[in-house]
């Protein structure tokens, strides 16, 4: 037996304990929990087959009582000692997509982001549409192109129509962008016709990940009217490999900013589900932004309530993301179209400047939050590199 040494100040101490799907060399993917710089093999230590699988879905479907029980068991296990054969160094295993994604929905919950994008996309009208403060605006994304951190992203091709050009042409996106977001994963499903009130959020939602919602702004700007984003978003959405359970976020829970006008009753709840999470965006290793989740207008509990209020079923593995997180300050903007103001104000990264992504660029988005007893917990990062457009898509 070995008692795991956790470095002082680790973002992966006993107050965090995120779950992921890992694969040691020469054996099958399975569920593990991260402790310090180690992964503990849960199939080997807890003897439940739900952990011998290549996704978290079966465990997530077991529900909150079971999640709480496993968290207690893991805490004891780590304190008492774990069989050496069930412990792996985190940098010696491959991390997989942790969840078989069911439906994927993306919201637009940052008032700063929605206002900035409104100004950029529709300069001659009110930046916020009339519905924005009455409901969390969202769209259905493409679950089959949700990918795990470390997976390269190929520059998409599509229709582009720059201003001043009367008809569209076709080719690789010239305005490839990121969106720094948090994503929430449903564990306990509902039946068709049921709804999930905001105060039932924690009964259904298992945990959270960091999301990079890649966005081809030129394709998006031309296609999005009137039904919303489609091919400008659906080519890739990246998530971090470690799912931080809601139980680890107790100390991060805060009120959302004041919501005025007051939302309709189905969007109101007693529980606080604003979250004090700090994100960091790195472009080729240089920090370019620090988006604060604490300023998000709509809470994830409101997003889930809105998603199900028409009776739409929620499924184990549903992923819903917050939308780009942008703070009030320029260096808190979570998308490059905002950070560079539509490409007019390049950012400096080392000895180079950038407006949108170039081939070979690498983006890392990471996040941390307060843990209990003055600790800090980490989500890890979502990191990807841009590859050139392929597939015989000539200009």
* Residue placing its CB nearer to Mn ion in the complex, 55 or 212: 212
Stretch of 30-38, 101-109, 219-227, 358-366 contacting Mn ion, by CB under 5 A: 101-109
Does residue 361 interact with Mn ion by CB under 5 A? no
In whole angstroms, how close is the CB of 105 to Mn ion at the nearest point? Answer: 10
Task: Give the alpha-carbon dihedral of 175, 237, 140, 294, to 10 degrees.
Answer: -90
Phi, psi of 329 (to 5 degrees): -85, 155
Euclidean distance between CA atoms 127 and 134, whole angstroms: 15
* Residue placing its CB nearer to Mn ion in the complex, 236 or 267: 236
Q: Strands 146-148, 237-239: parallel, antiparallel or unpaired by DSSP?
A: parallel
312 secondary structure, DSSP code? P
Stretch of 173-181, 309-317, 334-342, 375-383 contacting Mn ion, by CB under 5 A: 173-181
Euclidean distance between CA atoms 10 and 391, whole angstroms: 43
* Residue placing its CB nearer to Mn ion in the complex, 180 or 249: 180
Does residue 338 interact with Mn ion by CB under 5 A? no
| Residue 36 C-alpha from the chain's centroid | 22
In whole angstroms, how close is the CB of 139 to Mn ion at the nearest point? Answer: 9
Does residue 106 interact with Mn ion by CB under 5 A? yes
User: Which residues are registered as beta bridge partners of 365?
Assistant: 281, 382
In whole angstroms, how close is the CB of 145 to Mn ion at the nearest point? Answer: 13
* Residue placing its CB nearer to Mn ion in the complex, 213 or 361: 213
Tokens of 131: 């519905």
Query: Total binding residues for Mn ion by CB under 5 A?
Result: 3
Per-position x/- string for 61-100, each x denoting binding to Mn ion as judged by CB under 5 A, each - no binding: ----------------------------------------
Q: Strands 362-370, 376-387: parallel, antiparallel or unpaired by DSSP?
A: antiparallel
Among 103, 111, 177, 179, binds Mn ion (CB under 5 A): 179
Residue nearest to Mn ion (CB): 213
Does residue 213 interact with Mn ion by CB under 5 A? yes
Tokens of 80: 């008492």
From the candidates 96, 113, 134, 306, give the one annotated as an active-site residue: 113
* Residue placing its CB nearer to Mn ion in the complex, 179 or 361: 179
Of the candidates 256, 301, 298, 294, which has an alpha carbon nearest to the alpha carbon of residue 278? 294
Tokens of 249: 């976020």
* Residue placing its CB nearer to Mn ion in the complex, 57 or 215: 215
Residues 227-286 that bind Mn ion (CB under 5 A): none
Grouping H, G, I as helix, E, B as strand and the rest as coil, residue 93 is coil
- Sign of the CA dihedral running 200, 257, 119, 385: negative
Tokens of 15: 């107050």
Euclidean distance between CA atoms 349 and 60, whole angstroms: 40
Q: Catalytic site residue 113?
A: yes
Residues 128-157 that bind Mn ion (CB under 5 A): none
Residue tagged 């931080």 (tokens) = 244
* Residue placing its CB nearer to Mn ion in the complex, 106 or 338: 106
In whole angstroms, how close is the CB of 324 to Mn ion at the nearest point? Answer: 5
Does residue 177 interact with Mn ion by CB under 5 A? no
Q: In the chain, what are the helix, strand and coil shares in percent, each to the nearest 5?
A: 25, 30, 45
In whole angstroms, how close is the CB of 218 to Mn ion at the nearest point? Answer: 16
In whole angstroms, how close is the CB of 142 to Mn ion at the nearest point? Answer: 12
The catalytic residues are 113
Residues that bind Mn ion (CB under 5 A): 106, 179, 213
């Amino acid at each position: 037996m070995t008692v795991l040494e956790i470095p002082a100040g680790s973002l992966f101490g006993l107050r965090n304990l995120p779950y992921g799907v890992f694969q040691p060399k020469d054996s099958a993917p399975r569920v593990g929990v991260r402790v310090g710089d180690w992964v503990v093999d849960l199939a080997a230590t807890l003897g439940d087959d739900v952990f011998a699988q290549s996704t978290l879905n079966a465990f997530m479907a077991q529900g909150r009582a079971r999640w709480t029980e496993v968290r207690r068991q893991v805490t004891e296990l780590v304190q008492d000692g774990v069989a050496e054969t069930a412990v792996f160094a985190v940098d010696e295993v491959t991390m997989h997509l942790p969840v078989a994604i069911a439906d994927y929905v993306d919201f637009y919950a940052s008032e700063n982001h929605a206002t900035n994008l409104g100004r950029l996309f529709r300069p001659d009208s009110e930046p916020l549409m009339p519905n924005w403060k009455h409901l969390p605006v969202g769209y259905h994304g493409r679950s089959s192109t949700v990918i795990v951190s470390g997976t390269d992203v190929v520059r998409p091709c599509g229709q582009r129509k720059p201003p001043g050009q009367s008809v569209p042409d076709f080719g690789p996106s010239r305005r490839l962008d990121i969106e720094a977001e948090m994503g929430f994963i449903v564990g306990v499903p509902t039946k068709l016709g049921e709804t999930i009130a905001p105060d039932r959020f924690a009964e259904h939602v298992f945990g959270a990940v960091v999301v990079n919602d890649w966005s081809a702004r030129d394709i998006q700007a031309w296609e999005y009217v009137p039904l919303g984003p489609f091919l400008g978003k659906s080519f890739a959405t990246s998530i971090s490999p470690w799912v931080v359970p809601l139980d680890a976020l107790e100390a991060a829970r805060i009120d959302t900013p004041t919501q005025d006008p007051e939302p309709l009753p189905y969007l109101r709840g007693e529980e606080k589900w604003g979250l004090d999470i700090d994100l960091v965006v790195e472009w080729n290793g240089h920090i370019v932004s620090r988006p604060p989740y604490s300023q998000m207008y709509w809470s994830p509990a409101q997003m889930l309530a809105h998603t199900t209020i028409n009776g739409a079923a929620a499924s184990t593995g549903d992923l819903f993301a917050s939308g780009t997180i942008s703070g009030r300050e320029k260096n808190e903007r979570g998308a490059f179209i905002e950070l560079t103001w539509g490409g007019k104000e390049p950012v400096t990264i080392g000895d180079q400047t950038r407006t949108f992504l170039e081939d070979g660029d690498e983006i890392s988005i990471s996040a941390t939050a307060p843990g209990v007893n003055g600790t800090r917990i980490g989500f890890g990062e979502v990191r990807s590199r841009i590859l050139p457009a392929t597939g015989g898509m000539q200009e």
